[in-house]
Structure 1
């Protein structure tokens, strides 16, 4: 086949990752075939070669798989020699098609190993002037060391981490562009370090290396009770620079007592509260050779175990986008406010020329109040304030923070000399640098803005962990928020390694009895654990990663955690088949809550028992995938018993659900807890509950993600559309009509009269209700994976048209390549465009189509190449397709 080749090679989901500690990394690739118009391209065999060191494939290889008869092109595990630390491994792939064609070798790709285990560390932890115990915010430390190198430099890598946050510098330049390193993990149990290729930053002769340290998540302020030192009271850094010379000799520079420490210009750096920077205290050249550090004091060394250190597991945080202010506002109360035009997360870079000592203060907020004034009320105790004290001297000065981040759209500017102009300011958008994978567009402009809001909500809250909000004194990895949104997030971005890393922290923080903390990493008081729908993240999230990416390893890693959670539930109370004890958040922020309550009216034991069944069911499926047949059968049996008991407890003999709430009905239908007449009655009752509210929802965090799904799946797609397209409060589009650019925590965060829901808990960047994005992709566009062939190896496409949409266009970049589903209703004709990536197949259902008149590319579908099976069904035409692009056309029956 002309042009057959393997492309877009990845190792552990990433292109050319540096510093991974995976002993058997997995390799993935996509197939390309000529002009891209070919159909039915499928892999029959592959061959992988891996070379260590110089990347030459002519010598002794670390691994040559030989020709392997397999259609597998995702997660192929390295099977060669034991990996060596600090080594570059270059690999390439050759493939054969089922028609016997052979590709050439792919373009090579590589990965670089980290130190692999604790024995690779010879550095000592070192602390600066402010490394000791503190009970208040502290200045950042500067640490440095000069050294000389003799001979040509072949390669050099820096390995670094911190108890706190760090930034590394080498010869006057910052090392890498990763932010807020080493990220946030359950530090006392596992901590990441980062690896940087610095070969081009070193030179023969004199060199200098430096570290800047701040408190960060490790010992800074976390949560709303101003607690500090959650993981430890001593701040320290750990670094080693490994140099290999042209002659094969090596040298390692490490943090130890020979380093020197001093104060720096960052006088305060807190994640919630901002940063204070005094440019008059800058130590110009502090990380350069020849800098006079005679008045710096020796660094302190501290003892801290290295056994829990692991190489960077997920994508790092970076500045991924820059925005300019769209306007400068003079508020009624006299404030000068910049409007970024978008609720964003990150910080502001600005340039100023002013006299020495002038203080410029930026305060950050999400919204203006109904009078148009700057409104910081919903930040609670988070100050979100950046202060820059000018160096002076007549030259322009440019500054941006390092060790904080803010959630904001508006910036109040104080102390700026002269006129405040937009061109002096740049908004730096930061988040985990996840690959965008999804796009969704339709004929409804408010829905398009809703989709943008969902994506921006994900950007702002995927800051190394999946946080609830990015602005107030919280910003925690709430498990409930993560599990309701994970499926949507996986459409928008490749979140596989992001959640793999977070789930390892969940497993690390899980209680010995299997209970799961409310937030991961866990920084809340001891009893803050094990609510239903929150703790169920232990099961739902790994299963979702498996479904979206075909990643069996995440199930293997998390299986014990998943099982422990289900067994934890089983031990609660005196009935092992119901969960009716303990604290539960219930249907959080449900609109049917009683006065002064955050919890909706759905009985908490109904929610808890429903999720108990769901987790037991998913656990049985995971056990089946992993070949644990006894467990699979045991938890299948347990699930059946829970379901039977649930029906006795919550569904009357006549089929009525005891709780007259939308969420109760949604959970029963979504989890398959009712059958037969009871199922039909509960469907009809849900419809009536929605009609009673004039097609408005009352669901909270628990019911909302599933609401439109159960309506569509149970024959009420028209009602699902009415809910999704509803513009009046409460609805998904109401915040859009109020100018929202991210998802809100409350359906009425801003009321019709412009007043706010409350100061206490009113985030305007809270992704949970963005879970409707899953319905947009899976139902409106119709893109789904097959549960039995996960990771989009076999694709299900079933676009659902209906009133309110004239067209929908969606695409998803799977590990196999782009999947596309587009439909348009025009002149009583349905036009559907579908793209299926090579080495996959798809089952497509075209609703309302008739086989005898269905056309593909202008011809009868019966003679179309690439269609393996076609069948007329009551719902429409069902087709099984090979890879390629297809254009279908048929008369729309509802015209």
Structure 2
């Protein structure tokens, strides 16, 4: 639908969430469509009914460069004759009221909440953005809402029937035209955020007559819905967190330190006092396992509503090992909870679209979920953040923070790695085609920062278990930059562009420089950090004649260290893949499954239901950046390897690799052509394999059994 708003409307006065209403006449309702962009977030009603089941729409962008509208078929909400449309706006990222260390409260796009709306039927415009037909108020029940602080709601201020015909809006004001947000207006094509699951507490502990703590048994993103009974004016406060103090209260200290104003993750509900009242916030979301409910009112019930991008499930695996299955569930829950419109690092402490986290977990996302369109729209936001020099920030969206700290080639690689993965998993090359020129600008920018064909900017192997033993940043950043040049060379050739040879030559210069500085001979790189050896193999830095020695060295170091992951987030992807590619699949599997600190299973045995942000778990306990373990299992245990020569699995060679720790394994993945399933089972001294592929897809089974 072509959406060209006449006016953007907002409230004349600052206050709580602004409410808008407009009555109109419709001769017919067949084929009626409504298009709306409401910033930061909106809820739209027709004749008293909320339109659709989206929440937290539209998905955040750099609004001064791009904003998105959503189109609804609304025939079922209308009736011939008189109708009423209502809109409520929340601040979201657009009018970011809480101060934080990332400076979103000083974003160039920041302005009062506003919306643009068209309601059309049969080519006729029923409602437009002209202010004359609209009325608005800021005296509604949502008295405060903020992305990171929370939402405050006073039920005594509710306006019954405000979005229905005949409501008395004589005290409301005429809205005012406001400047457009400044960016391109385009339709949102990513699946929206929705309430995807309702979770009841696994425990509800009363700490006092006025305090209870609900444990939902899983770390999630979203909010709580409460049913309470009390006197008019009584207030209930909801505080959300993922840990508890020893006395049982919710501990938010480790997730609130970056929010500089107001209380982080706190909702407040003031009762109207007429029996059982039910409420949940609309214009905020939180990351939590626990919710502390404080107040005099009687708590009838509390549930958690798990909110995330509503992409479809696209894959899973299972085995007889309960802890491997639990690890897979933790990865999936981490990916869901860290994708609320955009992919980010954690749903509580930051809610930022970190590029490093996203690229490291992208293949896991594509194995498990139909996440391609969501990643594509986020990449558009990352491209909008690119400076004319080619520089990229470490987070997207960004409002000035993250360019000179927090980025670097391993993070910036999201701009290259994700388009290639989307191509391999879906067959679509439109993402790299759209962003190819931006990729060239970035590579030129990074080359300008090189010394002797190497670069040394970036965070490196972040969240290593021992900061004194991190692989050199110059090595990891240069390896990723070399990889990005190689990917861009592939894109150039697929697009019929002429830059491929230059990009390959640049990559070869970097490879030579890495070997000259960090290759010690005999398969040794840098100081034999696991990450350095892993990246030397997966990024094809090691000379052909030394690859076997490097892999043997890496496997020996892993074994000598008790299969403990002495690496950070870069190593968590590179090391297990390097081992498996060299035939040490069982060694890599034992890295994932050993139960001591540091390790993935150690997290689970501490009660984790999602992946932690570092090995000791004293910061965030819902991060996805260590999540490549799931993609590894699809690729090596299940044998699902996306082939760039046959993108979208138009032809597939399956290479499952059984490990002695498992008696059986089975997985499936839904490709653009249909479902691929692979299973294997040990029977006696042999393995039986079972494979199913879509009709018409050429396939080969090449199991790798030791």
Q: TM-score, normalised by structure 1?
A: 0.75
Q: Which residue of 2 aligns with 1:793?
A: 650
Q: Which residue of 2 aligns with 1:808?
A: 665
Whether the aligned pair in 2 keeps the contact of 1:513 and 1:568 (CA below 8 Å) is yes
How far does residue 747 in structure 1 lie from its aligned partner after superposition? Answer: 1.3
In 1: Cα distance, 2:396 partner to 2:303 partner: 32
> 5+ residue gaps in structure 2?
none
Q: Which residue of 2 aligns with 1:620?
A: 489
In 2: Cα distance, 1:646 partner to 1:801 partner: 35
How far does residue 203 in structure 1 lie from its aligned partner after superposition? Answer: 1.6
How far does residue 243 in structure 1 lie from its aligned partner after superposition? Answer: 3.1
How far does residue 355 in structure 1 lie from its aligned partner after superposition? Answer: 1.6
Change in 2 beyond 3 A, CA 1:713/1:334: farther
- Are residue 682 (structure 1) and residue 556 (structure 2) matched? no
Q: How does 1:114-513 map to 2 (within 5 A)?
A: 114-115=1-2, 120-131=3-14, 139-149=16-26, 151-220=27-96, 221=98, 223-224=100-101, 227-244=104-121, 251-262=126-137, 263-304=139-180, 308-331=184-207, 335-369=211-245, 372-381=248-257, 383-393=264-274, 395-418=275-298, 420=299, 424-472=301-349, 474-513=350-389
Greater shift in the superposed pair: 223-232 or 494-503: 223-232
In 1: Cα distance, 2:319 partner to 2:539 partner: 29
Kindly provide the CA deviation profile for residues 803-842 of structure 1, in whole angstroms up to 9, marking residues without a partner as x.
Answer: 2111111000111100001111133331211111123222
Whether the aligned pair in 2 keeps the contact of 1:164 and 1:235 (CA below 8 Å) is no
In 2: Cα distance, 1:333 partner to 1:738 partner: 30
Q: Which residue of 2 aligns with 1:695?
A: 563
Whether the aligned pair in 2 keeps the contact of 1:817 and 1:837 (CA below 8 Å) is yes
CA RMSD of aligned residues (A): 2.0
Q: Which residue of 2 aligns with 1:636?
A: 504
Q: 2:462 aligns with which of 588, 592, 595?
A: 588
Change in 2 beyond 3 A, CA 1:278/1:373: closer
Change in 2 beyond 3 A, CA 1:480/1:681: same
Secondary structure of residue in 2 paired with 1:783: coil
Kindly provide the CA deviation profile for residues 252-305 of structure 1, in whole angstroms up to 9, marking residues without a partner as x.
Answer: 433424321112100111111111100000111111110001111111111226
Whether the aligned pair in 2 keeps the contact of 1:516 and 1:565 (CA below 8 Å) is yes
Relative contact order: is structure 1 or structure 2 higher (C-alpha 8 Å, sep ≥ 6)? 2
Kindly provide the CA deviation profile for residues 786-805 of structure 1, in whole angstroms up to 9, marking residues without a partner as x.
Answer: 12111111122111111211
Q: 2:418 aligns with which of 531, 536, 541?
A: 541
Aligned length: 698
Q: Which residue of 1 aligns with 2:674?
A: 817
Secondary structure of residue in 1 paired with 2:421: helix
Higher helix share: 2
Q: Which residue of 1 aligns with 2:584?
A: 716
In 1: Cα distance, 2:86 partner to 2:130 partner: 10
How far does residue 704 in structure 1 lie from its aligned partner after superposition? Answer: 0.7
Q: Which residue of 2 aligns with 1:652?
A: 520
Secondary structure of residue in 1 paired with 2:702: strand
Secondary structure of residue in 1 paired with 2:455: coil
In 2: Cα distance, 1:332 partner to 1:158 partner: 49
In 2: Cα distance, 1:238 partner to 1:332 partner: 44
Whether the aligned pair in 2 keeps the contact of 1:130 and 1:141 (CA below 8 Å) is no
Secondary structure of residue in 1 paired with 2:409: coil
Greater shift in the superposed pair: 714-723 or 438-447: 714-723
Secondary structure of residue in 1 paired with 2:278: strand
Kindly provide the CA deviation profile for residues 113-172 of structure 1, in whole angstroms up to 9, marking residues without a partner as x.
Answer: x21xxxx424311111545xxxxxx511111112223x3332211111123211111111
Change in 2 beyond 3 A, CA 1:333/1:467: farther
In 2: Cα distance, 1:367 partner to 1:622 partner: 45
Kindly provide the CA deviation profile for residues 373-393 of structure 1, in whole angstroms up to 9, marking residues without a partner as x.
Answer: 432222224521111101112
Whether the aligned pair in 2 keeps the contact of 1:144 and 1:286 (CA below 8 Å) is yes
Secondary structure of residue in 2 paired with 1:533: helix
How far does residue 712 in structure 1 lie from its aligned partner after superposition? Answer: 1.3
Q: Which residue of 1 aligns with 2:639?
A: 782
Secondary structure of residue in 1 paired with 2:190: coil
In 2: Cα distance, 1:249 partner to 1:675 partner: 68
Change in 2 beyond 3 A, CA 1:400/1:380: same
How far does residue 601 in structure 1 lie from its aligned partner after superposition? Answer: 1.9
Whether the aligned pair in 2 keeps the contact of 1:538 and 1:565 (CA below 8 Å) is no
How far does residue 250 in structure 1 lie from its aligned partner after superposition? Answer: 5.3
Change in 2 beyond 3 A, CA 1:222/1:683: farther
Secondary structure of residue in 1 paired with 2:555: helix
Change in 2 beyond 3 A, CA 1:212/1:305: closer
In 2: Cα distance, 1:769 partner to 1:193 partner: 34
Change in 2 beyond 3 A, CA 1:662/1:223: farther
Q: 1:770 aligns with which of 607, 616, 627?
A: 627
How far does residue 331 in structure 1 lie from its aligned partner after superposition? Answer: 5.0
Whether the aligned pair in 2 keeps the contact of 1:468 and 1:477 (CA below 8 Å) is yes
Change in 2 beyond 3 A, CA 1:222/1:489: farther
Change in 2 beyond 3 A, CA 1:524/1:703: farther
Structure of higher CA gyration radius: 1
